[in-house]
Chains A and B, each alone.
Chain A
Amino acid sequence: MTDIIIIGAGPAGMTAAIYARRAAKSVLVLEALSYGGQIINTPDIENYPVAAHISGFDFATKVYEQAQALGAEFKFEKALSVEDNGAEKIVRTAKNSYTAKAVIIATGSQNRKLGVENETKLVGRGISYCATCDGAFYRGKRVAVVGGGNTALEDALYLADIAEKVYLIHRRDSFRGEELTADALRARDNVELVLNSTVRELHFDKRLTSVTVADKAGNPREIEVSGLFVAVGRIPENSDFSAVLELDRAGYAVASENCRTKTPGVFVAGDNRVKDVRQLVTATADGAVAATEAIRFVNEH
């Protein structure tokens, strides 16, 4: 039996692995896709102490190498469930099941979809969830961003430097994102705010050609764009683990700053936990806290 199984190899999970290995606990990290998590989409991290500039890929790779060098084992399998048998927790993947004394769930979140017909079909043909990845394809073209948080505002600003015109479609008349970024957007000649509006339809031939939005009164407006960048928030990846987690209405795992869940020996770390600030630095901090709690739990049981 492994001492601590960590589900998710993002910044939170990999930091937890580093702490657990430094306490000489055996560690297995299970990851569905690749190490790094959401941070790999960030081309330049500027708010993490020590490194004034580092790409998300480089950051993730350094943390991965650090955890590996300390002896953490990584397996690229998607954890499908966590079962609590008291002293033994069972984590199942499609092909295997693993047992551990303690489990840290650090699965993060995934992009929320718009939920409009043909959205999935048009991914890669006009619909994108990553402006920094795909913005360059829209040089001199017309694009729209949907959302009102920091990601949406930053995406719109980023695209304003590349695209001929950027529409920012938001369902309210005020933004959740930082006022400074919103002001910067308002100052741009090629940015048009389409407020109190939601996307209703996507039009396409082979690729996206336009979107229909509707305001609160239901008045439709067709906007010609070849790209639509969706930034309407994230969904925590907790649904597979509801047997051992209490989830709030939005699906986040209920746990205080000590990262303990309703199940003794099961901890959460990172973006999938209820918290106010979801940043790289708070994810790694969670990893340290959750690992410390898990180490204590293993020592005491």
Chain B
Amino acid sequence: MAVLEVTGSNFNQEVLQSDVPVLVDFYATWCGPCKMLRPTLEQIAADRQDVKVIAVNIEDEDELADQYEVSAIPCVVLFKNGAEADRSVGLVPRDALEAML
């Protein structure tokens, strides 16, 4: 699977109602570390069928960023069964993201 770009209108369906754990990458286009993190997330999305990887552009979706209290990016929030289970802030290696799962 590829990294799916999600907005406020389908966040509920794609993230909160997902059957599998979801990694949500809150990012912005001005953020260099976010761009560096993206290939790692794409690899996870490609390699793992048991996880969904979602991206949320915080410039367009500031309400979602507010709702989940994102105040530093890149911020990857792990959702399980519709609730936040863990989060990782900053540019981290793949191992660190997978360790949350």
**A residues whose Cβ falls under 8 Å from a Cβ of B:** 32-36, 40-43, 55-57, 60, 76, 78, 123-128, 130, 132-134, 136-138, 206-207, 227
Residues of A within 8 A of B32 (CB): 36, 40-43, 55-57, 60, 133
Instruction: Decide: B36 and A57 in contact? CB cutoff 8 A.
Output: yes
Residues of B within 8 A of A130 (CB): 33, 72
Nearest B residue to A61 by beta-carbon distance? Answer: B35
Residues of A within 8 A of B71 (CB): 124-126, 128, 134, 137-138, 207, 227
Instruction: Decide: B36 and A34 in contact? CB cutoff 8 A.
Output: yes
- Provide the bound-state CA to CA distance between A36 and B35, in Å: 11
CB distance from A142 to the nearest CB of B (A): 14
Please tell me which stretch of B7-15, B44-52, B83-91 contacts chain A, meaning at least 4 of its Cβ atoms lie within 8 angstroms of it: B83-91
Nearest A residue to B38 by beta-carbon distance? Answer: A34
Interface string of B1-42 (1 = CB under 8 A from A): 000000000000000000000000000101111011101100
Beyond A43-B30, A124-B75, A126-B71: 17 further Cβ-contacts under 8 Å? Answer: A33-B93, A34-B39, A35-B36, A36-B32, A36-B36, A57-B32, A57-B36, A60-B32, A76-B93, A124-B70, A124-B71, A125-B71, A128-B71, A133-B33, A137-B70, A137-B71, A227-B71
- Provide the bound-state CA to CA distance between A76 and B96, in Å: 14
- Provide the bound-state CA to CA distance between A137 and B69, in Å: 10
Instruction: Decide: A137 and B33 in contact? CB cutoff 8 A.
Output: no
Nearest B residue to A141 by beta-carbon distance? Answer: B71
**B residues whose Cβ falls under 8 Å from a Cβ of A:** 28, 30-33, 35-37, 39-40, 65, 69-73, 75, 87, 89-93
- Provide the bound-state CA to CA distance between A36 and B93, in Å: 14
- Provide the bound-state CA to CA distance between A123 and B74, in Å: 12
Residues of A within 8 A of B72 (CB): 123-125, 127-128, 130, 133-134, 137
CB distance from A95 to the nearest CB of B (A): 11
CB distance from B15 to the nearest CB of A (A): 19
- Provide the bound-state CA to CA distance between A32 and B96, in Å: 12
Residues of A within 8 A of B89 (CB): 123-124
- B90: contacting residue among A32, A60, A123, CB under 8 A: A123
For B33, B39, B40, B71, the residue with the greatest tally of chain A CB atoms inside 10 Å of its CB is B71
Residues of A within 8 A of B69 (CB): 125, 206-207
- Provide the bound-state CA to CA distance between A227 and B69, in Å: 13
- Provide the bound-state CA to CA distance between A69 and B100, in Å: 35
- Provide the bound-state CA to CA distance between A55 and B73, in Å: 17
- The contact sample of 12 A-B pairs, CB cut-off 8 A, is A34-B36, A34-B39, A43-B30, A123-B89, A123-B90, A124-B70, A124-B87, A124-B89, A128-B71, A128-B72, A133-B72, A137-B65
CB distance from B68 to the nearest CB of A (A): 11
Instruction: Decide: B70 and A34 in contact? CB cutoff 8 A.
Output: no
